[in-house]
Amino acid sequence: MNKPTVVDRFRALFGRAPDFVARAPGRIEFIGNHTDYNGGTVLGAAIDRGVWVAVAARTDGPRRFATDQRDGVLALAAGAPEKQAGAASWTNYPLGILAALPAFGLRAPGGFDYLAMSDLPLGAGLSSSAAIEVSSALAFLALTNQAPSRETVVKVGRHAENHFVGVPCGILDQGVSGFGQKNRLVFIDCRGPHFDTVSLPAGAHFWIFNTHTKHALIDGLYASRHRECMEAAKALGVAQLADVTPAVFAQRGTSLPATLSRRAAHIVGEIARVGEVRGALGKDDLAAVGLALNASHASSRTQFENSTPELDFLVEILATAPHVYGARLTGGGFGGAVMALTAEKFAESDARKVAEAYAQKFDAVPDILHTQTGDGAALV
């Protein structure tokens, strides 16, 4: 995917060139599973694939939306955005941005033509939703000649996801998409939020194994985990689970109901693992990073219970594969994908062996994606 391809498709649909083109990358949740909305710390990687958004202003009112994922053009009246259903539900991401902009003192554009194109594999836990939100925000802001801070842009994206789309996510996805840098990971302290980057040692590679499985109740399960974490924090007398240290949890965690104790144990332990990984990266110790990734997945499986048999099997197989430092589910869980951190020597043939073992077990072949870090969102 590149800008000329997007411009050509825009011309074919709307009969003119776009005024602006923006791009935002997908992201890998490196470590920090469900810690963001608990006020914790996370590490993520922007990748070299993403979502492109092209826009051109209209003077006659309508907002027209198109995507390379579906046929046709959807025309909506300008004004207060209304949530869409069915085949048009993909537009809730850009519509959510339009609805969110005034909450930050920013203007939403009136009429426009809009095209979104993606080279992100859908359903792989790479956060195509955040990528379309952040790229849409940049495009709409350019269209209205506004230039807020990068932090404000990612907050607009999160606001859209929380309040319009209706997913109670934290800032991880939009933050990594907005602040990503090639050859670096994005570190976020979500209580601020505060953003920083951490150097990724040379020779580190990401392999994504997408199972295409998804729990039928994934939205409800995500919301229930969010609710359980909030209940655990309240029972422990803190505003957020990030306020609970491992030492304090060891003393007081057993007083919680069993389910809430498991959820809190995962979050408190995961925040500690983020710190361990950040320190290990500073020493170029990828072996230690891999051990933390494996421990993260084990906690997701047993404490947070957001893994699946398919994801667990992939992590188990990867644990015995050559040149693999570690592996864990990436994203919200309940299906989706596993990320493996590998040395450069891990090859396509090694990845195929993992996929073949999976196929023998589940009678399905996972998609394989070998990706690298990439730069964050920008006008292009």
Question: What residues act catalytically?
Answer: 173
Nearest 5°: the CA angle 300, 190, 298 is 10
The pair phi, psi for residue 87, each rounded to 5°, is -60, -25
Among 339, 254, 253, 267, which residue's Cα sits nearest to residue 303? 267
Alpha-carbon span 252 to 258, nearest angstrom: 12
Among 34, 39, 3, which residue's Cα sits nearest to residue 18? 3
Q: Decide: helix, strand or coil at residue 49.
A: strand
Q: Identify residue 339 by its one-letter amino acid code.
A: M
Alpha-carbon span 2 to 212, nearest angstrom: 26
> How do beta strands 194-199 and 378-379 pair?
unpaired
Q: Identify residue 233 by its one-letter amino acid code.
A: A
DSSP H/E element including 134: helix 128-143
Alpha-carbon span 47 to 202, nearest angstrom: 16
> Cβ of 55: how many Cβ atoms within 10 Å?
26
Alpha-carbon span 249 to 269, nearest angstrom: 10
Tokens of 149: 């801070």
Tokens of 72: 């046709």
